[in-house]
Structure 1
Amino acid sequence: MTGSISALDAVKGRRSVRRFLPDPVSEPVIEAILQASSRAASGTNIQPWLVHVVTGKTRDSLSSAVLRAAEAEETSLEYPYLPARLKEPYLSRRRKVGFDLYALYGIDRHDMPARKAAMMRNFDFFGAPVGLFFTMERDMPQGAWLDCGMFMQNVMITARAYGLETCPQQAWCDFGAVVHAELGIPDDHILLSGMALGTIDPSAPENTLVSERAGVDEFGTWHR
């Protein structure tokens, strides 16, 4: 059942949730979210996005496999997400959101084992019952990445109309080979991102994080 949230509220209230309740999400609701999200724009209507929905035993098996690989530091990077050297202002933004999150977790910024443990929670979908994996054919050029990003954003916004929240998780792409093997994703398809989907745990301190956004005066240029 959808709620009465407005489009503006759905966008402005979206955030990455990092602890979910175990409440199940029905397949008809997941399908409805994906179907509505498919209205995303795509160049010449190619609709390049593909989605793997992971629940139940498959979810648990994938989580265990990637956690084993992560513990053994057996990475298999699907693609570089950030440049090798991140410059300003991007570096400061990244550091601030990280430090703000550690503070809510109660983790000292120098406590590397605790920071690693927090990061590893990605691979249990932060407790969410549903994982989504977004892929497309590997030979698609840059424009298709834009299309898939718009589709993913639609998923995150549409989920809120169903009383659900999400966390996009590019961290899974550090172990792309494991995800490919566990889900039977062909080698000629690239893994773009994972995403946790479920009901927010309102008692979790980490879910109070609201990351800062630059003002329009910082990223907008007016040509009059």
Structure 2
Amino acid sequence: MHANAKWEESAVDRSTVVDLVMTERRAKRGFLKDPVSLDTVCGILNAARYAPSSSNIQPWKCHVLTGDARNRITTKAVDIFRAGPDKLAPEYPFFPQPLHDPFITRFNLFRGQLGDAVGVPRSDKYGRLKDVERQFRFFGAPVGMIFTMDRTLEWASFICYGCFLQNLMLAAKARGLDTCAQQIWSLQHNMLREELGFADSDMVVAGLSLGYADNNLAENNMPNHKLDIEEFVTFVS
């Protein structure tokens, strides 16, 4: 039987499983201490590497942090943040300033929900700083990842990188694990470059927390509003 025919026979089952993995994937901001084996991490990365990229240039580079290395990096990141959060600048802008509608409305809605979930209103500046420290601890996840990319590539390579990160997060979810992609690690590029030994020609794109989510936490059970397709799709025939 032709390979395509075999695929078509189980297409309904496959689509159901794939759709379920995509719709159940959520960013988790609190993890259990349960370890994740390196074999599992390698399996996730092995699947993610099949992400599409422009002319197959594959711009991604990944540093996997566990054990003592993870603890050393998180401790340094928190110390640097405490010493002067205003001194940290990312390798690339996260949002335009000012952020405009409809994006600012969505941003404020999400931030308000997150603040309520973790018990830190936006007016609580100290509480917000402590909450950022949780990010620099990978939210307690046993595995942290740092992603870098050659900075001489054009911005279009971020599209390729997004495909890779989504593949990785879906592969993790399919294995019963959860993730949180974290742009904020770009703020720590100087420390990461020194600690991990990558070249000045590489920029920090993001970090990622990987582990088993603690779903008893309110922040891991927030409503997750997504636009209906009618709100972002135009059908042309």
Conserved in 2, the CA contact under 8 Å of 1:76 and 1:177?
no
Partner of 1:214, secondary structure, is coil
Corresponding residue number in structure 1 for 2:156: 143
| RMSD between aligned residues | 1.4
65-74 or 20-29: bigger deviation:
65-74
Shift, 1:181, TM fit: 1.3
- 1:65-121 alpha-carbon deviations (Å, 9 max, x no partner): 111111112314211111121000100111111110111112233212112211220
Partner of 1:195, secondary structure, is strand
Q: After the TM superposition, which parts of structure 1 deviate over 3 Å for at least 4 consecutive aligned residues?
A: none
Corresponding residue number in structure 2 for 1:163: 176
Which of 68, 89, 102 is the matching residue for 2:79?
Answer: 68
* Residue identity matched to 2:179: T
* Residue identity matched to 1:137: D
Corresponding residue number in structure 2 for 1:127: 140
Listed as ranges, the matches of 1:27-106 within 5 Å are: 27-73=38-84, 74-106=87-119
Conserved in 2, the CA contact under 8 Å of 1:137 and 1:188?
yes
Shift, 1:16, TM fit: 0.7
Conserved in 1, the CA contact under 8 Å of 2:90 and 2:184?
no
Q: Distance in 2 between matches of 1:108 and 1:77?
A: 25
Which of 143, 159, 166 is the matching residue for 1:153?
Answer: 166
- 1:107-142 alpha-carbon deviations (Å, 9 max, x no partner): 233212112211220000000000111111111112
Q: Distance in 2 between matches of 1:143 and 1:206?
A: 32
Corresponding residue number in structure 2 for 1:13: 24
**TM-score normalised per structure 2:** 0.90
Aligned identity (percent) is 35
* Residue identity matched to 2:67: G
Unaligned runs of 5+ in 2: 1-13
Q: Distance in 1 between matches of 2:218 and 2:100?
A: 30
